[in-house]
Amino acid sequence: QVQVVEFGGGLVQPGGSLRLSCAASPIIFGIDTVGWYRQAPGKQRELVADITSGGAANYADSVKGRFTISRDSAKNSVSLQMNSLKPEDTAVYYCKYQVLRKAYWGQGTQVTVSE
């Protein structure tokens, strides 16, 4: 049974930074992409950023220049560095490992950007 766990959420002031991490256990082989998604209250879940097995990254327009996704293949983990956070970044952030047609989701971690 694969488990995906996210770490690093919390409360931060506008303009601040947070780093989210995501890991899968046991190690997953043949990963296509790993992505970070978020869902704010009353809104649909949306893609924030994802990264392919080859290291190509893709970002939502709303986070370009502020967020950076990276992966550590040896540790089977992915991180999301979030800088210059805004109140509209407040959401539950989810990590997803995609292997062919199979998706493995984490339970999510809350990020709140507020004074």
Phi/psi of residue 86, each to 5°?
-120, 155
CA distances from 54 to 12, 38, 57, 70, 107 (A): 32, 23, 9, 11, 26
Helix and strand element counts for the chain (H, E): 0, 11
Residue range 69-85, pLDDT digits in tens: 999 877 789 999 999 99
Higher pLDDT, 62 or 2: 62
Structure confidence at residue 6 as a pLDDT band (50, 70, 90): very high
Residue range 12-69, pLDDT digits in tens: 999 999 999 999 988 888 888 999 999 999 999 999 999 998 899 999 999 999 999 9
Closest Cα to residue 7, out of 91, 89, 104, 111? 111
Q: In this model, does residue 114 exceed pLDDT 90?
A: yes
Task: Please answer whether residues 111 and 20 qualify as being in contact, where contact means their C-beta atoms are separated by less than 8 angstroms.
Answer: yes
